[in-house]
Amino acid sequence: MRYEEEIPDREYFVAPRRARRRRRISYRTLLLCAVLFLSGLLLGRALAAEVDIEGGSHLGGTSAGPEPVQAIAPVVDQKKDPEEWQLLLVNKDHLLNEDYKIPEMTKLRNGHSVDSRIYPDLQRMMDDARAAGLQPLICSSYRTWDKQEELFQRKVNYYLQQGCGRQEAEEKASAWVARPGTSEHQAGLAVDIVDVAYQMLDEQQEQTEVQQWLMEHCAEYGFILRYPTDKSDLTGVSYEPWHYRYVGKEAAAEIMEQGLCLEEYLSGQDDVS
């Protein structure tokens, strides 16, 4: 079974930030003078609202400006126990409630967003990977219900045009794109990270230096490789050596050290079914 990450959504495949940055410097120097002169504070404010997860860390204070966190959906989390939010299970059998609200979102640069609660650890992980000489790139993050619906319907329409009936079209589509409500990306707790040097979402991704580093170190930051190669029958999702899910450091250490998937970890706790 293949899922939404298999669709190379072009808008996520941006040029490597470092390369773009170098090119931009000379242009920027000239352009910024003109643009700032014309639009002044307006531009400054728009940029200051974003978080530079692709470059330096706001946590380290490399960028000046106001509080980076941008509240998009300031609504109370449905989970009653604040300790357990990071263990939210989302899969084919455990759909995200349609009214699920992420308490607060942190907007990253290049259009990505995550649940603010995972942001500090995510930023540290990205910073440390870069400090190790790597070039990780977040290519997918939070997706709205509408976005997931759109991706799914696009695939359904494709099969309808191939002559399939509605039910068959939806079944076939669900092999490629997660049905709305079954994607962790909708909860803002997952990110897809690739190596700038190799951005294809296929099994070769595991050979990249970035994935080798992430697989070894992600648990230190509370992340797990969510869809391991040998757990597809339990997760319902094929091997995805790029999809990282935040579960907190305690759970992540146990899951990664013991070679579990989240379903197995939670079944050892309580109330999974």
Where in the sequence numbering do the catalytic residues fall? Answer: 240
Report in angstroms how near the CB of residue 235 gets to Zn ion at its nearest. Answer: 12
Residue nearest to Zn ion (CB): 243
* Residue 50 near Zn ion by CB under 5 A: no
Regarding 143 and contact with Zn ion (CB under 5 A), the answer is: no
Contacts 24+ apart (CB under 8 A), 227-231: 227/261, 228/259, 228/261, 229/203, 231/261, 231/263, 231/264
243 interacts with Zn ion by CB under 5 A: yes
Residue 226, interface with Zn ion (CB under 5 A)? no
Cα atoms found within 13 Å of the Cα of residue 222, Cβ hemisphere only: 18
Tokens, residue 160: 């309808």
The nearest distance, CB 60 to Zn ion, in angstroms, is: 27
* Nearer Cβ to Zn ion (112/243): 243
109 SS3 class: helix
Q: Is residue 115 near Zn ion by the rule CB under 5 A?
A: no
Contact region with Zn ion (CB under 5 A), list: 24-32, 125-133, 242-250, 254-262: 242-250
Report if residue 137 touches Zn ion, rule: CB under 5 A.
no
- Candidates 25-33, 43-51, 200-208, 240-248; binding stretch for Zn ion (CB under 5 A): 240-248
Note whether 192 binds Zn ion by CB under 5 A: yes
Q: Considering only residues 2 through 31, tell me which ones interact with Zn ion, judged by CB under 5 A.
A: 5
Task: List Cβ neighbours of 16 (8 Å cut-off, separation of 6 or more).
Answer: 135, 137, 196
The interface region with Zn ion, picked from 29-37, 69-77, 129-137, 185-193 by CB under 5 A, is 185-193
Please, which residue, 50 or 192, has the CB nearer to Zn ion?
192
Minimum distance, C-beta of residue 147 to Zn ion, in the bound complex (Å): 13
Choices 101-109, 112-120, 190-198, 228-236; region in contact with Zn ion by CB under 5 A? 190-198
Strands 105-107, 136-140: parallel, antiparallel or unpaired by DSSP?
Answer: unpaired
Closest to Zn ion by CB, 169 vs 255, is 255
Compute the distance between CA of residue 218 and CA of residue 131 in angstroms, rounded to an integer: 15
CA-CA-CA-CA torsion for 204, 184, 231, 4, nearest 10 degrees? -50
* CB-based contacts of 198-202 (< 8 A; 24+ apart in sequence): 199/13, 199/137, 199/139, 200/8, 201/5, 201/6, 201/8, 201/139, 201/240, 201/242
Task: Return residues touching Zn ion (CB under 5 A).
Answer: 5, 192, 243
